Structure 1
Amino acid sequence: MRLFYQQKTIGKKSRKLQKFAFTIEEPVYTLKDLLLQLVTQEVQNFNEKALDTPLHIYLTEELLEDAVHHGKIHFGEKKNATVQSLEQAKSTVIQAFEDELFLVVQNEEHLNSLTTPLTIQEDDVFTFIKLTMLAGRIW
């Protein structure tokens, strides 16, 4: 089943959210199941990208123009070539949700419990909102 996710960090100037497609293969009954599947896919993609870095990196005119448009020119190399632990990532996402460091919204509905049963349909959009701690004094 194809789903979409989008991310938003409070305070960032970007108003338009970009949707990223992902697929789920195992049955998803709760928000916890969904988060664990999404984290598993993202960690696998991250670790595969670390292995797929070409030995000779060069910029074509098209890549250079695209990079100038985004405001950052780089060769796409990763500074950290370590492989990430899947188990650590899973425990981190569950702990972060329990600590209310991010919110999850399915289409227009706020999901506030890891154990709430989910009804998922094709092309549903899940929005992850990263909350930012405030610095300073209140009084």
Structure 2
Amino acid sequence: MRLFYQQKVIGKKSRKLQKIPFSIEEPVTTLQELLVQLVTQQVQQYNDKKVDTPLHLYLTDQQIEDAAQHGKVHFGEKKNDTLQSVDQAISTMLQAFQDELFLVLHNEDSLDSLTTPLTLQEDDVFTFIKLTMLAGRIW
């Protein structure tokens, strides 16, 4: 089943939300199962990314323009060659959700619990909003 996700960091006004497709292979019934599958896919994609330097060290004007819209112009290379642990990433994600460091929206509905039952349809959109802590002092 094909789904989409989009990410938003509060305070970054220039970033447009872009729908990124992902697919799930196993049926999911809860938010936790969906998040575990998504994190597993992301870690596998990261680990599969090559560490090699590119053959060409230039970007086209179109690539620069596209990257600038996302807020970061880079060659796409990976600087770290260590493989990331899927289990550690899942544990970190679950702890971050429990600590309310990010919000999850399913289409327009907020999901507040990992045990929230999901009814998924093709092309549903999940939005992840990373929350940032405010700096300051309480007088």
Q: Same fold (TM over 0.5)?
A: yes
Give how far 1:53 is off.
Answer: 4.1
**Pairs within 5 Å for 1:34-113:** 34-49=34-49, 52-54=50-52, 56-59=54-57, 63-69=59-65, 70-71=67-68, 74-113=74-113
Contact 1:2 1:21 in 2 (8 A): yes
Q: Whole-Å Cα distance in 2 between the matches of residues 116 and 73 of structure 1?
A: 38
Q: Whole-Å Cα distance in 2 between the matches of residues 68 and 123 of structure 1?
A: 29
Please report the TM-score for the alignment, with normalisation by the length of structure 1: 0.88
Please report the TM-score for the alignment, with normalisation by the length of structure 2: 0.88
Give how far 1:56 is off.
Answer: 4.8
What amino acid sits opposite 1:28 in the alignment?
V
Farther off after superposition, 120-129 or 69-78: 69-78
Contact 2:53 2:77 in 1 (8 A): no
> Does 2:112 match 1:116?
no
Contact 1:64 1:73 in 2 (8 A): no
Q: CA RMSD in A?
A: 1.8
Give 2:2's aligned residue: 2
Aligned residues: 135
Q: Which runs of 5+ in 1 are unaligned?
A: none
What amino acid sits opposite 2:27 in the alignment?
P
Q: Secondary structure at the match of 1:105?
A: strand
CA 120–138 in structure 1, closer or farther in 2 if over 3 Å, else same:
same
CA 73–20 in structure 1, closer or farther in 2 if over 3 Å, else same:
closer
Give how far 1:54 is off.
Answer: 4.2
Contact 1:57 1:75 in 2 (8 A): no
Give how far 1:55 is off.
Answer: 5.2
